[in-house]
Amino acid sequence: MATLQKIRNRGPLLVIIVGLALFAFIAGDVLNSIQSAANESRQQIGEVYGEKISVHEFQNLVDEYSEVVKFTMGNASLNDAQMTQLRDQVWNTYVNGKLIAHEAGKLGLTVTDAEVQAVITEGTNPILMQTPFRNEQTGRFDANVLKKFLTDYEGMKANATQMPAEYVEYYDNLHKFWMFIEKTIRQECLSQKYQALLAKSMMGNKVVNKAAFEERTNESDVLMAALPFSSVNDNDVKVEESDLKAKYEELKEQFKQQAESRDIKYIAVQVKASAADKAALDKEMAETAKALSAGGDIAKIVRESQSVIPYSPIPVSKNIFPTDIASQLDTIAVGQMRAPYYNASDNTMNIIKMLGKVSAPDSIQLRQIQVAGADMEAVKKTADSIMTALDNGAAFDSIAKKYNQTGEKVWITSRNYEGATLDADNLKLIQTITTMPANTTKKIEFTQGCIIAQVTDRRAMIDKYDVAVVKCPVEFSKETYAKAYNDFSHFVASNTTQHDIETHALKSGYNLQERKDMFSNEHYVGGVSNTREALRWIFSEDTEVGSVSPLYECGENDQMMVVILTGIHEKGYRTEEAMKEFLTQEVIKDKKAAMLEEKLANVKSVADVMKVKGAVNDTIKHITFATPAFVMKTGASEPVLSAVASKTAAGKFAGPFKGNAGVYTLQVLKKDKSAQKFNAKAEEERQESANMRAASRFVNELYEKADVVDNRYLFF
């Protein structure tokens, strides 16, 4: 009882302790949840209509498309510039797809499997021409070739363990490529359906079509006289704040932007080779030239020279060489060498030695049977039996099928192997097939296997060159870079504010540049590569106007940069202050127009206008309402002049009226009607085409409504 009483006496304290424990437990879960949500948010690359896409999901789309591009181009990898362009294409495709799907979903628009199949069967879609499923005779896409491949692919999957690994890999990649093409066709069909629906909603009528025809075909020749805005000094025009405010309200919709932009100033320093660096390279090139002249192991000499163009033991076409090298190959005799020379276009020192010239096919049609076995002895035995069967008249494709292969004919062109790094086996293959006559068969043994190759056709005989090219960039040394870095680092450390940098940059030998309206979906700051860190700093929420960035090392390890944030323009309408310079010029044009129109208020002819100081005149022919007239004397395109001319009768005078570059008057010299006859059907089709083009511009409206968020700059 005493113990129970003690517990009762301490009850309030126990409640508090238990409550604190429960609070700590719940708070811990809340904090973990908040942290998890924050981590998830940091991994979001963007969103469309509130639907988020993570960097992992986006990267999967990029990987899918990059494999398609590599397969199409025949490349094993893509460089940074290609990957940057590819990511842009993937993002734009993703966003546009979401925009269309959102609208199509509300309208009940879908694309059925039957519709996709109909596009494939018809075979005229340009996307299909990018596939290898073509008829050998016509060169056009052939649905039957595709069907055969899909059937063969299913058969290959069932017998994958019995097929060569390279064969399986190729078929897998080709199947993935086709799946991507099919998905693209489906997306394209949905977009076309939606655009067609919009276009149909804008259909005109016979009256509209006839008017459009006349606007395009009826012409006027005019004698124009104008007072250009440049004839009035800007200082003679007074601009009030009320004028700017009124003009801002008038043009406000032009100042709407879909994403935040920022203004910057920056210094970009490119490190260049010093005189000592150039002298050292000259010495090395002289030694290389001496070694090439003496002969020996050409591949080793070129490799040790660190040339950016490797030596190819296979004669190659001039197409793989830079223009400055390719343009000289036909002028260099076999055995001749061009001594070291400087090429300014790519800042390189060069040597060319011609070892030989041959005429060889640019394209070779080949079919093959890959021979597998438990060991090389078994492989050779099987290969010999295949060769014996072929020599005795057996059909190539029949033997191929016996070994679960198609034996189909494929074209190999010079671009498939020229310029690529070839291992010993691939080198042996190319050397063999490029020298085989048409309709001959050979057994080609490799390190780990063997193939039976048959060349069935050779086309496009071209000149190919056995040539050693040494091309070495004139580069800076580590010592040169260190000095440039130390000098720039000292400048940045000594000038920590915007005012300091603006004041001392030029005196210190640095060029301060300005860039307005930079968006986060740009990839380079100041056109310099590898400036992602600078881009992230520019668009960071923590970066304030007037802030100076750290020193960034960028470019191809040859540049340095410092950035100043000078302005932020939020998403939505640009402020009147931000547009003040533009508004001022527009107000000045309006006021000049009023002044000039007053000068011309009483003129009755072009001759009267030409009596006014500053007037210019010209004859302009073949003006139509549908095409803006270009006035050489004012250097401007003037749609209003086309409109006035089309509505003014022959011999009549019109004006004054304001244009883009001045105040105009005109006298119509003559009117001509085109000999072209009105064709109602053709005009209707023309208008439908115009409506389709107009409908394609709907994406901008959808983009704005979708509240698209693009955070790619944080990851790439």
Q: Consecutive sets of 10 residues in the chain, 716 residues long: mean pLDDT of each?
A: 45 46 48 47 86 95 93 84 93 94 93 95 92 87 92 83 77 92 95 87 80 89 96 94 96 92 97 95 95 90 92 88 92 92 94 92 87 82 88 86 83 81 82 87 85 88 91 95 97 97 97 96 94 96 97 96 96 92 96 96 95 95 93 94 95 96 96 85 82 76 89 91
Q: Give the C-alpha separation, 597 to 526, whole Å.
A: 44
Going by the DSSP 8-state scheme, the letter that residue 528 receives in this structure is: B
Question: What is the residue whose two structure tokens read 């099928």?
Answer: 401
Helices H, strands E: what count in the chain? 23, 20
Q: How far apart are CA 23 and CA 17, in angstroms?
A: 10
- d(CA 502, CA 525) in angstroms, rounded, equals 19
Q: What angle do CA 400, 405, 411 make, to 5 degrees?
A: 90
pLDDT at 37: 43
Q: What is the pLDDT of residue 31?
A: 43
Quick one: fold of 260-271+477-570? Answer: Chitinase A; domain 3 (3.10.50)
pLDDT of residue 9: 52
Residue 619's closest CA among 576, 669, 579?
Answer: 669
pLDDT value, residue 439: 87
Q: Which residue has the tokens 């692919």?
A: 153
pLDDT in tens, 34-52: 444 445 557 899 999 999 9
CA distance 651 to 663: 20
DSSP, res 436: S
Q: The tokens of 123 are what? A: 């075979």
Domain 277-473 class in CATH: alpha beta
* Eight-class DSSP state of 143: H
Adjacent-strand bridge partners of 630: 637
Beta bridge partners of 512: 267
> 574-593: per-residue pLDDT in tens?
999 989 999 999 999 999 99
In order, the DSSP letters of 316-340 are B-GGGS-HHHHTTGGGS-TT-EEEE
Q: Is domain 51-201 annotated with CATH 1.10.4030?
A: yes
Question: Is the pTM of the predicted complex or chain greater than 0.75?
Answer: no
Residue 555 falls in which region: left (phi positive, over 0), alpha (psi -120 to 50) or beta: left
Neighbour count for residue 250 (Cβ, 10 Å):
12
Specify whether the CB–CB gap between 94 and 61 falls below 8 A: yes
Cα 579 to its chain centre, rounded Å, is: 30
